[in-house]
Amino acid sequence: MKFNPDKPYNKLPNILPDEKYWRLLSIYEQVNKANRAMAELKGRLSAIPNPDIFINTLSLQEAKDSSSIENVLTTNDKLFKAFTLDSTADPHTKEVLRYGKALVGGFRVMKSGKKFSVKLIELIYRNIKKENDGIRDFSVYIGNGYRRIYTPPCCRDVILDKLNNWISVANLKSDEIDPLIKMAILHYQFEAIHPFKDGNGRTGRVINVLLLSVYGLLDDPVLYLSKYINEHKNDYYRLLMGVTESNNWEEWILFILKAVEKTSKYTLGKVFTIIELFNNTKEKIQGEAPEIYSFELLETLFTQVYCKYSFLVEKGIASRNTASKYLNRLVEIGILKKEKVGNEFIFKNKGLYEILKK
Applying CB under 5 A, the span of 34-42, 46-54, 151-159, 195-203 interacting with Mg ion comes to 195-203
Of 109, 118, 120, 149, the one binding ligand ADP (CB under 6 A) is 149
CA atoms of 229 and 249, how far apart (whole Å): 17
Determine the 3-state secondary structure of 56 from DSSP.
helix
151 φ, ψ (degrees, to nearest 5):
-120, 110
Based on the shown chain and the rule CB under 6 A, indicate whether residue 98 belongs to the binding site for ligand ADP.
Answer: no
| DSSP one-letter string for 183-227 | HHHHHHHHHHH--SSS-HHHHHHHHHHHHHHHTTS-SSS---HHH
User: Which of ligand ADP, Mg ion, none does 150 bind, CB closer than 5 to 8 A by kind?
Assistant: ligand ADP
CB of 256 to ligand ADP, least distance (A): 12
C-alpha 232: how far from its chain's center? 17
Of 24, 48, 69, 160, the one binding ligand ADP (CB under 6 A) is 69
Determine the 3-state secondary structure of 24 from DSSP.
coil
Cα 141 to Cα 144, 192, 196, 284, 358: the distances in Å are: 10, 11, 11, 56, 36
Based on the shown chain and the rule CB under 5 A, indicate whether residue 131 belongs to the binding site for Mg ion.
Answer: no
Based on the shown chain and the rule CB under 6 A, indicate whether residue 73 belongs to the binding site for ligand ADP.
Answer: no
Based on the shown chain and the rule CB under 6 A, indicate whether residue 125 belongs to the binding site for ligand ADP.
Answer: no
Applying CB under 6 A, the span of 196-204, 251-259, 274-282, 304-312 interacting with ligand ADP comes to 196-204
Size of the site for ligand ADP (CB under 6 A): 17
Applying CB under 5 A, the span of 62-70, 188-196, 278-286, 302-310 interacting with Mg ion comes to 62-70
Would you say 73 or 317 has its CB closer to ligand ADP?
73
CB of 70 to Mg ion, least distance (A): 5
CA atoms of 317 and 295, how far apart (whole Å): 10
Q: Tell the burial category of 293 from Cβ atoms under 10 Å away from its Cβ (0-12, 13-18, 19+).
A: middle
Determine the 3-state secondary structure of 19 from DSSP.
coil
Q: Which of residues 150-179 bind ligand ADP (CB under 6 A)?
A: 150
Cα 255 to Cα 188, 217, 228, 250, 260: the distances in Å are: 11, 19, 10, 9, 9
Binding mask 240-269 for ligand ADP (x = CB under 6 A): xx--x-------------------------
Would you say 52 or 198 has its CB closer to Mg ion?
198
Nearest residue to 324 (alpha-carbon basis) of 298, 295, 292, 279: 292
User: Which of ligand ADP, Mg ion, none does 241 bind, CB closer than 5 to 8 A by kind?
Assistant: ligand ADP
Applying CB under 6 A, the span of 11-19, 238-246, 256-264, 299-307 interacting with ligand ADP comes to 238-246
Based on the shown chain and the rule CB under 5 A, indicate whether residue 245 belongs to the binding site for Mg ion.
Answer: no
Nearest residue to 11 (alpha-carbon basis) of 163, 191, 154: 154
User: Which of Mg ion, ligand ADP, none does 149 bind, CB closer than 5 to 8 A by kind?
Assistant: ligand ADP
Nearest residue to 86 (alpha-carbon basis) of 354, 297, 323, 304: 304
Q: Which of residues 77-96 bind Mg ion (CB under 5 A)?
A: none
Of 52, 131, 161, 198, the one binding Mg ion (CB under 5 A) is 198
CB of 130 to Mg ion, least distance (A): 14
User: Which of Mg ion, ligand ADP, none does 200 bind, CB closer than 5 to 8 A by kind?
Assistant: ligand ADP
CA atoms of 43 and 30, how far apart (whole Å): 20
Could you give the angle at the alpha carbon of 55 between the alpha carbons of 327 and 302, nearest 5°? 20
Binding site for ligand ADP (CB under 6 A): 69-70, 142, 149-150, 191-192, 198-202, 204, 237, 240-241, 244
Binding site for Mg ion (CB under 5 A): 70, 198
